[in-house]
Amino acid sequence: MKIICIGRNYSEHAKELNNEIPDEPVIFIKPDTALLRNNNPFYIPDFSEDVHHEVELVVKINKAGKCIPVQFAHEYYSEITLGIDFTARDVQTKLKNKGLPWEKAKGFDYSAVVGNFKPIAQYNHPISAMPFYLLKNGIKVQSGNTNQMLHSVDDIIAHVSQYFSLRIGDYIFTGTPAGVGPVTENDVLVGFIEEDKIFEFQVKK
């Protein structure tokens, strides 16, 4: 399986990092070795002094496809969860400044936290207006709603599948809202979709 991630999909987050707002989705991929599940602790890697949390809604692909027309994209997923796209911001800044790929900053081991997937139908909101948030040590640090996305889930699937065939079990991280920030040892991160707790885990070093 592969983990496809969308960058700069919320304009307030793009602005907080002084990034341009893109006219098509910014895409990067994490390897399957990046997965961290089951509320296992996250260990800050030795190569970074500035690892940031990016809370994101995650969609699971349930049907294989390529060049999927946007009007059929909704047939390719039915379950969502919440995840964290951990980012070594210091490493990423160095790579960005040199115009190099981001993989070392974004795709390192255990950088992709995912909660349990649940049917979208079990929530009160549609996928196009789903609220979610992240608590760090009990304080709300990020809060978003998919209605603030620059590119909707269906747009993302249509776009991504022009370049990468989608397979059953692939994950799509759909971008983070504003409020990203560093994690430190002993932080506790708790994520919610609506008021449904999706994950709770500790940061260690």
Per CB under 5 A, residues contacting Zn ion are 54, 85, 176
87, β-bridge pairs: 52
C-alpha span between 10 and 150 (Å, rounded) = 6
For Zn ion, give the closer residue by CB, 65 or 144.
144
**Minimum CB distance to Zn ion, residue 54 (Å):** 4
Picking from 81, 64, 84, 92, the residue whose alpha carbon sits closest to that of residue 1 is 64
By beta-carbon proximity to Zn ion, the closer residue of 11 and 64 is: 11
Residues in the chain: 205
Cβ 125 to Zn ion shortest distance, Å: 21
Residues of 140-162 as b/e, b for ≥16 C-beta within 10 angstroms?
Answer: ebbebbbebbbbbbbbbbbbbbe
Strand bridging mode 181-182 / 188-193: unpaired
**Closer to Zn ion by Cβ: residue 48 or 176:** 176
Give the helix ranges, DSSP H, for the chain: 11-16, 89-97, 103-106, 153-160
H helices of 119-192, in order, are 153-160
Residue in 34, 63, 73 with CA at minimum distance from that of residue 152: 73
Our CB check for Zn ion shows the closer of 54 and 170 to be 54
Quote the least distance from Cβ 204 to Zn ion, whole Å.
Answer: 22
Closer residue to Zn ion, CB minimum distance, 7 or 131: 7
- Shortest Cβ 1–Zn ion spacing (Å): 18
**Which residue in the shown chain puts its C-beta closest to Zn ion?**
85
Min. distance of Cβ 175 from Zn ion in angstroms? 6
